[in-house]
Structure 1
Amino acid sequence: MIKIRRETPLDYAIVAEIYQLAFGQDNEGNLVDSIRQSDRYIPELSLVAELDGTVVGHILFSYIDLVGAENWQVLGLAPIAVTPQFQNQGIGSALVQAGLAAAETMGESLVIVLGHTRFYSRFGFEPSVRYGIESPWAVPEEVFMVKLVNYPPSTGVPV
């Protein structure tokens, strides 16, 4: 049984290890540490997945700026990782679903992610260009995605 809960400082070492195992490098774990120490960190949206009492996955949503005619504070989903031997078992999906549900409860409006289209589209993410939002990086349009969290379908995205 997968249990999703808020990360605590006692989880920091195992979370760093999960990112190292999942990506074979320290970059993503270092990113998590940097975000934790910034004013963009949202403790309620730093979640871990436990399987039989062992932390096997992590997801982090933090504040980013959507820059346009006006600047908007929205959520960025990154990073996410699951220990390799527990991948492809629904743990990553459970983390995304729990994080999006928490973001909605908190009244957040929009989540941006740079990731695999087939994975994130299952949760309602769409290419950001559909909403006039362009990636600040040179990446294929389809991998820079957004999910409207608390917007009625008829409401425009604030850009």
Structure 2
Amino acid sequence: MSDLDAFAEVLDPPVYVVTGAAGDGERAGCLVGFASQCSIRPARFTVWLSRRNHTYRVALRSTRLAVHVLSRTELGIARLFGEETGDETDKFARVDWEPGPGGVPVLSGARAWFVGGVRDRWDGGDHVGFLLAPVAEVSAAVPGDDRTRPLRLSDVSHFTPGHPA
């Protein structure tokens, strides 16, 4: 275990579902553990997608991505987007969603979400960072009890990923 691995083990960051749609209508989405707001003014958020992931390949052809926060009550949605691969499964046939700005799939059950325009991409090694600028109203839930606490890495660490990182 590297020193960075040991450091990361003390963290328990939120996880997100990132969705996108390419110009040809192909949709994709995956569970993401590497993401964060990275600027206040202008407002910016970065999500990191694994190069091995179907969502990464669709995101390369997308101008917008949606970032969803799930609560602990939406563990089934997290499992679908974390354990299944879009190479084999149409995840959107198994979840309620609506087309958002630019046709980006927006998950109906999400605790909060925003759609961001892809402003830039960065090579981070086995993951690529997608810099997003919000292009639609953010839909955010009011903080509530523990059932609506955002889903965290510790809640999904037992999942078997659809693709290795």
Both structures adopt the same fold (TM-score exceeding 0.5): no
Between the two structures, name the one with larger relative contact order (CA 8 Å, sep ≥ 6). Answer: 2
The two structures have a TM-score, normalised by structure 2, of 0.27
